Amino acid sequence: MSIDSAKTPFAVTLDVGGSLLNKTGSWRSERPVYVDRLPPCNHACPAGEDIQGWLYHAEEGDYRGAWESLIANNPLPAIMGRACYHPCQQACNRAQLDQAVNIHAVERYLGDLALEEQWPAQIVNPPSGKRVLVIGAGPSGLSAAYHLARLGHSVEIHEAGPLPGGMMRFGIPRYRLPREVVDGEVQRIVNMGVELQLNRRVDDIPKALEDGGFDACFVAIGAHIAKRVDIPGPDAARIVDAVSFLRDMETGDAPLQLGRRVVVYGGGNTAVDVARTAKRLGAEPMIVYRRSRSQMPAHDFEIDEALEEGIVVNWLRTITESDQQGFKIEKMTLDENGWPQPTGEFETIEADSLVLALGQNVDQSILTNLPGVTLNRDGVVEVGADMATAFAGVFAGGDMVPAERTVTVAVGHGKKAARNIDAYLRGETYRPLPKSEVANFETLNTWYYTDAEQKMQPVLDAARRRSTFEEVHTGLDADSALFEARRCLSCGNCFECDNCYGICPDNAITKLGAGKRFEFKYDYCKGCGMCVAECPCGAIVMTPEAT
């Protein structure tokens, strides 16, 4: 039955939908605006990864997309997914809800998948015709080479050693980082057209630049001169340094004759690496550290794993001299400032050898013919925020510049240097985009996320770890990787959950469709702010109206 609306009672009966004529937006004193805040993981990542960005793809099971997003910033995800100490997870807001997202494990999953599938890296810019020399094939140099190649430049890496990887190969034991992973990710960079020359030491950078016709140079030779401490005693041969020990493990150049009882002196990750390596070689290592456990620079989980593997740690001890049986050590005590002070109490440890893991210095010879470039008080090369040295066209990064000495920092340096070199080659100055405000936990509305415990990576049984160099941590399976990715809260960035669209009492939001996010209908938005309060990820803010 059709009804002629002209016949319906005046004013009492209305046609539908007429309220659209009433523009309630005029009620508003504040307007909601969509923003992208900086997720804390991204903020914490020394390599500058857009972690949330690649997790977004991974959540959908689009691993190729996730990996490509990942390697836009970091060319070594399979390595970093193992060697990185993942500060992202310390920053992860989810830790305040249950546990951090296991970003590290998902990164490794993607990295391994890419190696397995042999996904190639893409070059995004056309060839620039510029040539760049990278000195050192460690993480920083490889990263710089990759990014420069990606940006269209021609890159040559001159590596002094026999194998690429730097500390990734010569510092990190293979039970933490299998060598085929290193080889695979280096090869991918080489496949981009980067020329890798091994056993090619550069002593005179200006000359090398001129000889090779390079337009710029990135130096990343690392810090591999071991720090020594004078331990008086008859038999200096029984004292080796950690760098040499770990390098020899890789090159097999020298016999590893440490004996059964090995003392490792130091409290950093290298000390722990040495002790765990020695353990796997059949020795009984003991770590001696002059301060307390909580002051050890080594990561907690590494110490825990070492202890699980049966490694003894002696805290608050210094080694004062060596003798035929072993080493004389003095007990220390902490003063009120937390510094170790001698107690005058001594004891002797019977041991066959001592490995010094007391840190490394930069090889100064690299400064030859680089006027103005100097080492600072800490023995590292001063660079600007753009990673440039005082010598025009020469940039530096990695362990040889002032920064935390981690693979991740090094990779970050490589990227940053590459971007600055790219700008330099075009006669410009690289200007990074201003960083957004960090999306802290208080900006989130976490009610909307299900409780979901972190998926732990399987860990090799401690008994087997004592005798094998098999990887301690194995990767996540596909389901767990997906599950982890989906634990991401998407802090500060819209993940198209439709909350704003759904909870607006005024229908004042247009849903633009997958990937296109949303738009406010300011004609109708009354400015109640519910969308801001109920946005799970803090991607909307209220701003005062202009008038």
Partner 1 sequence: MTKVPDSEQRVKFYQTGTFTVGNRLLDEAQRTVQASVERANSLDSGHRACQGCGEALGARYVVDAALRAADDQLIAANATGCLEVFTTPYPESAWRLPWIHSLFGNAPAVGAGIAAALRARGREDVRVIAQGGDGGTTDIGMGCLSGVFERNDDVLYVCYNNQAYMNTGVQRSSQTPPAARTATTTVAGSEPGNELNSGKSVPLIAMAHGIPYVATASVNDLHDLEYKVVKAMGFRGARYLEVFVPCPLGWGSRPADTIKVARLATQCGMFPLIEAEYGELTAVTRIRDRRPVEEYLKLQRRFAHVFAPENAHQLEALREIAERNIRRFNLLPNEEAAP
Partner 2 sequence: MLQQIEGSAAVAQAVATCRPEVIAAYPITPQTHIVEGLGDMVKRGLVGNCQFLNVESEFGAMSVCIGSSATGARTYTATSSQGMLFMMEAVYNASGMGLPIVMTVGNRAIGPPINIWNDWSDSMAARDAAWIQLFVEDNQQAADVHVQAFRLAEAASLPVMVCMDGFILTHAYTRVDVPEQAQVDSFLPVFEPRQLLDPAAPITMGAMVGPEAFAEVRFLAHYKQLEALDLIPRHAAEFEAIFDRDSGGLLKSFDAEDKDTVVVSMGSVIGTLKSVLTDMRQDGSSIGLLSIRSYRPFPKQQLSDALANARRVIVFEKCLAVGMGGILAADVRMALANLSIPIYSVIGGLGGRPITQDNLRRMLDKGVQDQLEEPHFHDLNVEVVHRELERLRDIQRPGSSAESILRDIAGADAAARGSR
CA dihedral defined by 127, 130, 136, 139, rounded to 10 degrees?
-40
Q: Enumerate residues 442-461 that contact partner 1 by CB under 8 A.
A: 447-450, 452
Closest among 544, 533, 450, 517 to 488, alpha carbons compared: 450
Short-list 269, 284, 276, 270, CA closest to 241: 270
Query: Please, are residues 460 and 470 in contact by the beta-carbon 8 Å criterion?
Result: yes
CB of 9 to partner 2, least distance (A): 5
At its nearest, how many Å lie between partner 2 and the CB of residue 6? 10
Q: Can you tell me the distance from the alpha carbon of 292 to that of 297, in angstroms, rounded to the nearest whole number?
A: 10
In angstroms, give the least distance from the CB of 28 to partner 2: 24
To partner 2, the closest distance from the beta carbon of 2 in angstroms equals 6
404 CB neighbour count, 10 Å cutoff = 11
In whole angstroms, the minimum distance from the beta carbon of 527 to partner 1 comes to 6
- Region of 3-11, 226-234, 260-268, 474-482 interacting with partner 2 (CB under 8 A): 3-11
131-135 and 216-219 beta bridge pairing: parallel
Length of the chain: 547
Phi and psi angles of residue 352, each rounded to the nearest 5 degrees, phi first: -95, -25
Residue 475, number of CB atoms within 10 A of its CB: 20
Radius of gyration of the chain (CA): 29
Please report how close the Cβ of residue 530 comes to partner 1 at its closest, in angstroms.
5
- Kindly give the residue spans of alpha helices, DSSP state H, lying in 48-102: 51-59, 63-71, 77-83, 87-91
3 binds, among partner 1, partner 2, none (CB under 5 to 8 A by kind): partner 2
Q: Which does 20 bind (CB under 5 to 8 A by kind): partner 1, partner 2, none?
A: partner 1
# residues near partner 2 by CB under 8 A: 15
Minimum CB separation from partner 2 for residue 12, in Å? 6
| Interaction of residue 249 with partner 1, rule CB under 8 A | no
Task: Name the strand (E) or helix (H) holding 456.
Answer: none
Q: Please list, residue by residue across 303-324, b when 16 or more beta carbons sit within 10 angstroms of its beta carbon and e when fewer do.
A: bebbeebebebbbbbbbeebee
Which region, judged by CB under 8 A, interacts with partner 2, from 7-15, 56-64, 198-206, 417-425? 7-15
Q: Using the 8-state DSSP alphabet, how is residue 164 labeled?
A: S
Quick check: 22 binds partner 1 (CB under 8 A)?
yes
Among 203, 300, 323, 498, binds partner 1 (CB under 8 A): 498
Confirm or reject binding of residue 385 to partner 2 (CB under 8 A).
no
As measured in angstroms, the least distance from the Cβ of 63 to partner 1 is 15
Q: How many Å apart are CA 170 and CA 399, to the nearest integer?
A: 14
**What CA dihedral angle connects 441, 444, 446 and 450, to 10 degrees?**
-100
**21 binding partner 2? (CB under 8 A):** no
Residues in the interface with partner 1 (CB under 8 A) total 55
- Shortest separation between residue 510's beta carbon and partner 2, angstroms: 23
Q: What number of other Cβ atoms are within 10 A of residue 187's Cβ?
A: 13
Is 18 a binder of partner 1 (CB under 8 A)?
A: yes
Q: What are phi and psi of 438, to 5 degrees?
A: -75, 135
- What the block records as the tokens of 496 is 């198209």
Alpha helices in 118-174 (DSSP H): 139-150, 167-170
7 binds, among partner 1, partner 2, none (CB under 5 to 8 A by kind): partner 2
Question: Three-state SS for 518?
Answer: strand
Give whichever of 16 and 514 is closer to partner 2, judged by the CB atom.
16
Q: Which of residues 461-490 bind partner 1 (CB under 8 A)?
A: 483, 486-490
Q: Which of 307, 386, 534, 541 binds partner 1 (CB under 8 A)?
A: 534
Which does residue 5 touch among partner 2, partner 1, none (CB within 5 to 8 A, set by kind)? partner 2
From the list 10-18, 36-44, 45-53, 142-150, the region that binds partner 1 by CB under 8 A is: 10-18
Is 5 an interacting residue with respect to partner 2 (CB under 8 A)? Answer: yes
Work out what residue 221 binds among partner 2, partner 1, none; the CB cut-off runs from 5 to 8 Å by kind. Answer: none
Instruction: Please give the residue ranges that form the binding site for partner 1 (CB under 8 A).
Output: 11-12, 14-24, 27, 59-60, 447-450, 452, 483, 486-490, 495-499, 501-508, 511, 513-514, 521, 523-524, 526-530, 532-534, 536
Instruction: Please give the residue ranges that form the binding site for partner 2 (CB under 8 A).
Output: 1-5, 7-16
